[in-house]
Amino acid sequence: MVESSQNDNIEILTYSEIEEVGGYIGNFDVKIRKKARLVDLEKCTGCGTCYQKCPVKVPSEFDMDMGMRKAIYVPFPQAVPNVPVIDKEHCRTFTKGKCGICQKLCQAGAVDYEQEDEIIEDKFGAIVVSTGYDLFDAGVYGEYGGGRFKDVITGLQLERLISPSGPTGGHITRPSDGKEPKNVVFIQCVGSRDIEKGLPYCSNVCCMYTAKHAVLLKEHLPEVQTNIFYMDIRSAGKNYEQFVQRTIEQYGALYIRGRVSKIYQRGDKLIVKGADTLAGCQVEVEADLVVLATAITARHDAKEIATTLGIPYDQFGFFTELHPKLAPIETVTSGVFLAGACQAPKDIPDTVASASGAASKVAALFSSDMMSMEPLVSTIDTSVCSMCKACMEVCPYSAIQEEEITLRDGTKKKQLVVLESVCHGCGACVSTCRSSCIMLRGMTDEQIFDELMAVAQ
Amino acid sequence: MEESNWEPKVVGFLCHWCSYAGADLSGSARLEYPHNIRIIRIPCSGRVDPLFILRALQNGVDGVLVSGCHPGDCHYQSGNFHARRKFAVIKRLLEYVGIEPERVQFSWVAASEGPKMAKVIGEFVEGVRRIGPNRLFKDDKKDGE
Amino acid sequence: MENRLREEAGKLLKEGKVDYIIGFGKGTVKFRTSPLITNKEEDLKDLVINPFITNNLSRYPVEIKGRVGIVVKGCDSRSLTSLVQDKKVNREDLVILGFPCDGVVDIKKVEVQIDEEIDRVTGIEREGENLTVQMDGSKKTMPFRDVIFDKCYGCEYPTPLEYDVLLGSEVPPSLEIEKSLKGIKELEEMDARERWGYWKEQFSKCIRCYGCKNVCPACFCERCFVDVNIPQWVSTYATWQDNLVFQLMRTLHVAGRCSDCGECERACPVGIPLRSLQRKMVDEVKDLFGHEVGIDKDAPPVFTHYEATDSEEFIK
């Protein structure tokens, strides 16, 4: 990330959102709102005095609510740029009208409570979408505690416990009493592959990260026993299967094929009741810590993002690729490409591959001034067009635009034109036009008429 | 007399990305459907103009089938949504003026639904066979003509 | 009312708020009105409001460059709004003089009531709820509602919904909608074969005068589909088959934009009951999509818009 921020050809706009996208491939008009972080990006030196001294503590989103952050904060130590943002909803200066400590103490004078959002409007040739994912809320599973048990955590929360820059400084301890766990249960497919209460698809990454967690836990806590309840283990990537085998053989992970029916508290332990379908019996595990591999979902605001960008999404909110096999990186909107989990749950190697693919597609696009396209697009006979603009309303790609031309005698005339680079050749405009003044090349009325007459012979 | 040998002649407007591919698939799966259908490939069900249907019937075609992608799956996003509105109105008007409803049918068949395509075509042709040849637009013949 | 109208129209021209006034003027035949389109103040004295103002004047603003002051009844005002929805007219270029209308007289029905030809009539006056018909030496009175056009029984919006000046007090919707659907109901009673036979007979009369197309405000296309000859979808020769296909297509093109003003049926020289097609589709569009033309000028036209929940009951 630091490398990207130092590259002359890359401008990183953080704490910003896309408001509007217009135009078409090669010529997107994008309106960006740089939200006010209330700290001046140019002046801040990243010394950290402000967030050290801030009196307000708020649960940290990055630490998945397992630790705290301040009202003025940098989400994680490696953040780029290393400039904090003020959370107006919790900052005392905004909620109570008095404090101002960070501004007083900032030696660079970078804290600016009056800072306003900035709107940037610019033209871009292509758009790559890599807006990521969210996690399924396991609260719907009352049998796993429904969020009541402090020691039932998600995989991402365990990551924060393991991380040296996390809320426990890398010490894996139970959230309830801070003791080191001796017996840890992992439950796969929480929310995934569940038609009834969850999502019908497989989240791709959980089998592998759970195995990784089992390995890391064993390395941190040599006495720990890990138990993994699974339905199937999906380890299809390169060396993945060997990794899972090592997890079992070298790191002593116990894989139990079966579902967990209930978790309940007994004293300070959690009793995990499940099935072992290979042994054909019920099992009960006394656990200190339970880790749920929750499903990957689309971002909660994925649909709004997609609508702004003019790309379609599926019933789960994942962005739709042009073709599931032959074009997994492009979208139906020429010039908008997908990378990473926003298209479908995927792990790091696949994300890097799709991002590289998106980057090459953009590079190919930019490698010349002209684009070659399918010629089977619509054209308008402007001499008979009534300018009712019904075709414009119907076009899913906004390929029809109004233009003003100057006639030979100097008068100006408004007419409609089809943007050939955007038209995909569906013909919806043709059937909408009541006077047949727009025609789809390659599928003209004449051609269809001839076919029909031949059939009707 | 000609009626005992009569075979329905039916035209199908199938959208390239879904229904036409579905028909292709049923062919490669060796599923049989009646030979009475003549398929005209169109890019999208949204391309269908009601004139195609009326003209087909006027020229003596016994039935018109229009098939597109399932709503939400249109290769061109919204072509079939617009078509669906048009089709609903066409169906009501044609029935109102007295054209037998079995002669004009609208379906959604996906590219993967080879068996469904064969079934849709089969059932459609049978429906047309039952109601007999299309004499709607014929001038009344007098005896001896 | 006429005086108020002439005053308002005069004001608009004098103050330069509009370039033309479009209203009803005296017809060339008695008990008829003709459109009056003028930019001269002295012509405004010929503007009329009487029981015969059946014309749908919203046909004209499309062809006039500039701003117009236009007189519209309930049905016409919805046609006008439909043209705004279709982006053929700008609302800002219109000053709408709305006339709340409780019916327009169908001379043919008067003829039936008096059992005479209209040539014998010297005068017709509206008096409250009655119509008084003067002939040489005799007078006959009849309820006004008995001699209005069938379309007027079906009027749900007699008061223009979109207007700048309202010429008169609001009129409530008709309570006799069923009466306007008589023709449609009769057709619905027949079986498919009978219905087709009926339309075949009707369209054998059609001479392709295109009166229906010319008088309809929704038919604003610079080049009608019927005039396309590559390919020749509809023959220009007036066979009943081509006549029927023409009218069915026109019905489909106009569906969702028709306000049942009934002018097509009135204009037809051979008496084809076109309202039985057009009004039927008005009701079908309302049933299928909940769409009524001209109620909301910002609503999208019915076929350029769709809902995810549109009816699929007819899909197999």
pLDDT digits (tens, 9 = 90+) for C140-161: 999 999 999 999 998 999 999 9
User: Which string of DSSP letters, residue by residue, matches chain C?
Assistant: -HHHHHHHHHHHHHTTS-SEEEEEEE-SSTT-EEEEEES-GGGGGG---STT----GGGSGGGS-S-EEEEE-HHHHHHHHHHHHTTSS-GGGEEEEE---S--B-HHHHHHHHTS-GGGEEEEEEETTEEEEEETTEEEEEEGGGGB-HHHHT-S--S-SS-SEE-S---PPPS-HHHHTHHHHHHHHS-HHHHHHHHHHHHHH-----HHHHH-TT---SS-GGG--TT-SS-SS--HHHHHHHHHHHHHHHTTT-----HHHHH-TT---THHHHHHHHHHHHHHH---TTS-TTSPPTTS---TT---TTB-
User: How many domains, chain C?
Assistant: 2
Helix (H) or strand (E) holding A156: helix A155-162
CB within 8 Å: A455 and B48: no
What does each C-alpha distance from A290 to A61, A113, A162, A234, B13 come to in angstroms? 21, 43, 15, 21, 57
Contacting residues for B18 by C-beta, under 8 A, at least 6 apart: B67, B68, B69, B70, B73, B74, B75, B108, B109, B110, B111
Closest approach of chain A CAs to the CA of C83, in angstroms?
A: 9
Measured distance CA(A26)–CA(C270) in Å, rounded: 58
Residue C125 inside a domain? The answer is yes
Q: What one-character DSSP code corresponds to residue A288? A: S
Minimal Cβ distance to B89: which of C195, C198, C285: C285
Residue C63 inside a domain? The answer is yes
- The reported pLDDT for the residue numbered A350 is 97
**Mean local confidence (pLDDT), A329-351:** 94
- Checking if the pLDDT of A323 tops 90, the result is no
**Mean local confidence (pLDDT), A434-447:** 93
What does each C-alpha distance from B30 to B24, B25, B109, C261 come to in angstroms? 10, 8, 18, 56
* Residue A165: both structure tokens together: 């820059």
- Please tell me chain A's helix, strand, coil percentages from 3-state DSSP, rounded to the nearest 5: 25, 25, 50
The CATH number linked to A186 is: 3.50.50.60
Q: Based on the fold, state whether residues C141 and C40 are members of the same structural domain.
A: no
Residue A124 inside a domain? The answer is no
Q: What proportion of chain B, given as a percentage, has pLDDT over 90?
A: 75
CB within 8 Å: C310 and B85: yes
B142 confidence band (pLDDT: 50, 70, 90):
low
Identify the domain boundary among A297, A313, A332: A297
- Checking if the pLDDT of A61 tops 90, the result is yes
Subunits with 3+ C-beta pairs closer than 8 A to A: B, C
Measured distance CA(A181)–CA(A145) in Å, rounded: 19
Which chain B residues contact residue C249 at CB under 8 A? 50-51, 54
A356 confidence band (pLDDT: 50, 70, 90):
very high
Q: What topology is assigned to B7-131 in CATH?
A: Rossmann fold (3.40.50)
Which chain A residues contact residue C304 at CB under 8 A? 390, 393-394, 432
Which chain B residues contact residue C194 at CB under 8 A? 98
Residue A10 inside a domain? The answer is no
Q: Based on the fold, state whether residues A281 and A393 are members of the same structural domain.
A: no
CB within 8 Å: C300 and A393: yes
- The reported pLDDT for the residue numbered A398 is 84
Which chain C residues contact residue B108 at CB under 8 A? 315
Residue A248 inside a domain? The answer is yes
- Checking if the pLDDT of A45 tops 60, the result is yes
Q: Based on the fold, state whether residues A292 and A410 are members of the same structural domain.
A: no
Which chain C residues contact residue A445 at CB under 8 A? 228, 231, 233
- Residue of chain B nearest A376, judged by CA positions: B43
For residue C184, what are the domain limits? 2-106+148-304
Minimal Cβ distance to B47: which of A312, A396, A426: A426
pLDDT digits (tens, 9 = 90+) for A128-185: 999 999 999 999 999 998 889 999 999 999 999 999 999 999 999 999 999 999 999 9
Exposed / middle / buried, residue C139 (Cβ in 10 Å: 0-12, 13-18, 19+): exposed
Which chain B residues contact residue A333 at CB under 8 A? none
Closest approach of chain B CAs to the CA of C182, in angstroms?
A: 15
Measured distance CA(B111)–CA(A406) in Å, rounded: 47
Identify the domain boundary among A243, A274, A297: A297
Sole residue written with tokens 């002669």: B103
Minimal Cβ distance to C303: which of A432, A446, A449: A432
For residue A252, what are the domain limits? 134-297
Minimal Cβ distance to A455: which of B48, B61, B78: B61
Q: Based on the fold, state whether residues C122 and C209 are members of the same structural domain.
A: no
Closest approach of chain C CAs to the CA of A400, in angstroms?
A: 14
Residue A393 inside a domain? The answer is yes
CB of A447 within 8 Å of any CB in chain B? no
- The reported pLDDT for the residue numbered B145 is 41
Identify the domain boundary among A282, A297, A312: A297
- The reported pLDDT for the residue numbered B1 is 45
- Checking if the pLDDT of A444 tops 60, the result is yes
User: How many domains, chain A?
Assistant: 2
Q: Which of residues 71-130 of B touch C (CB under 8 A)?
A: 71-72, 78, 81-82, 84-100, 105-108, 120, 123-124
* Residue B6: both structure tokens together: 């009569």
CB within 8 Å: A396 and B78: yes
- The reported pLDDT for the residue numbered B81 is 93
B72 confidence band (pLDDT: 50, 70, 90):
confident
CB of A436 within 8 Å of any CB in chain C? yes
Q: Is pLDDT larger for residue A22 or for residue B37?
A: B37
Q: Based on the fold, state whether residues A163 and A276 are members of the same structural domain.
A: yes
Residue A33 inside a domain? The answer is no
Closest approach of chain B CAs to the CA of C164, in angstroms?
A: 34
Which chain A residues contact residue B83 at CB under 8 A? 428, 431
Q: Based on the fold, state whether residues C140 and C184 are members of the same structural domain.
A: no
Q: Which of residues 288-317 of A touch B (CB under 8 A)?
A: 312, 315
pLDDT digits (tens, 9 = 90+) for A237-254: 999 999 999 999 999 999
Which chain B residues contact residue C187 at CB under 8 A? 96
B5 confidence band (pLDDT: 50, 70, 90):
confident
Q: Which residues of chain C have pLDDT under 70?
A: none
Minimal Cβ distance to B46: which of A332, A427, A455: A427
CB of B86 within 8 Å of any CB in chain A? yes
A324 confidence band (pLDDT: 50, 70, 90):
confident
Closest approach of chain C CAs to the CA of B30, in angstroms?
A: 23
Q: Based on the fold, state whether residues C175 and C120 are members of the same structural domain.
A: no
Minimal Cβ distance to A452: which of B46, B52, B83: B52
SS (H, E, C) A64-94: CCCCEEECEECCCCCCCCCCCEECCCCCHHH
Q: Based on the fold, state whether residues C198 and C296 are members of the same structural domain.
A: yes
Residue A289 inside a domain? The answer is yes
A20 C-beta neighbours (distance < 10 Å), count: 13
Helix axis angle, A206-220 to A155-162, nearest 10°: 30
- Residue of chain B nearest C307, judged by CA positions: B81
Q: Based on the fold, state whether residues C226 and C252 are members of the same structural domain.
A: yes
Residue A52 inside a domain? The answer is no
Please tell me whether the peptide bond between C301 and the residue prior to it is cis, using omega within 30 degrees of 0.
no
Closest approach of chain A CAs to the CA of B87, in angstroms?
A: 12
Minimal Cβ distance to B81: which of C225, C306, C314: C306
- The reported pLDDT for the residue numbered A218 is 96
Q: What one-character DSSP code corresponds to residue A118? A: E
Minimal Cβ distance to C231: which of A434, A435, A449: A449
pLDDT digits (tens, 9 = 90+) for A357-372: 999 999 999 999 888 8
* Strand order across the B104-108 sheet: B37-42, B10-15, B63-68, B104-108
Sole residue written with tokens 């009793």: A271
CB of B29 within 8 Å of any CB in chain C? no
- Checking if the pLDDT of B11 tops 60, the result is yes
B144 confidence band (pLDDT: 50, 70, 90):
very low
Which chain A residues contact residue B76 at CB under 8 A? 332, 396, 424, 426, 428
pLDDT digits (tens, 9 = 90+) for A81-125: 999 999 999 999 999 988 999 999 999 999 999 999 999 999 999
CB within 8 Å: B38 and A455: yes
Chosen for mutation from A434, A436, A438, A446 (greatest number of chain C CBs closer than 10 Å) is A434
Q: Based on the fold, state whether residues C22 and C99 are members of the same structural domain.
A: yes
Exposed / middle / buried, residue A242 (Cβ in 10 Å: 0-12, 13-18, 19+): exposed
Minimal Cβ distance to B44: which of A332, A426, A448: A426
Identify the domain boundary among C122, C147, C172: C147
Closest approach of chain A CAs to the CA of C146, in angstroms?
A: 38
Q: What one-character DSSP code corresponds to residue A454? A: H
The region, left, alpha or beta by phi > 0 then psi within -120 to 50, assigned to residue A193 is left
Q: Based on the fold, state whether residues C54 and C153 are members of the same structural domain.
A: yes
- Checking if the pLDDT of B2 tops 60, the result is no
- Checking if the pLDDT of B27 tops 50, the result is yes
CB within 8 Å: A452 and B75: no
Measured distance CA(C177)–CA(C224) in Å, rounded: 33
CB of A382 within 8 Å of any CB in chain C? no
Measured distance CA(C206)–CA(C151) in Å, rounded: 21
Q: Based on the fold, state whether residues C68 and C207 are members of the same structural domain.
A: yes
Subunits with 3+ C-beta pairs closer than 8 A to B: A, C
Give the dihedral of Cα atoms C151, C157, C159, C160; nearest 10 deg.
-100
- The reported pLDDT for the residue numbered C283 is 94
Minimal Cβ distance to B40: which of A425, A426, A455: A455
Helix (H) or strand (E) holding A31: strand A27-34
User: What ranges do the domains of chain B cover?
Assistant: 7-131
Q: Based on the fold, state whether residues C21 and C120 are members of the same structural domain.
A: no
CB within 8 Å: A427 and B78: no
Which chain C residues contact residue A386 at CB under 8 A? 88, 220-222
Q: Based on the fold, state whether residues C25 and C141 are members of the same structural domain.
A: no
- Residue of chain B nearest A433, judged by CA positions: B49
Which chain B residues contact residue C241 at CB under 8 A? 58, 137
For CA atoms A374, A377, A383, A389, the dihedral sign is: negative
User: Which string of DSSP letters, residue by residue, matches A378-431?
Assistant: EEE-TTT-----HHHHH-TT--EEEEEEE-TTS-EEEEEEE-TTT-----HHHH
Beta-strand pair C121-127/C94-98: unpaired
Residue A450 inside a domain? The answer is yes
Q: Based on the fold, state whether residues C204 and C285 are members of the same structural domain.
A: yes
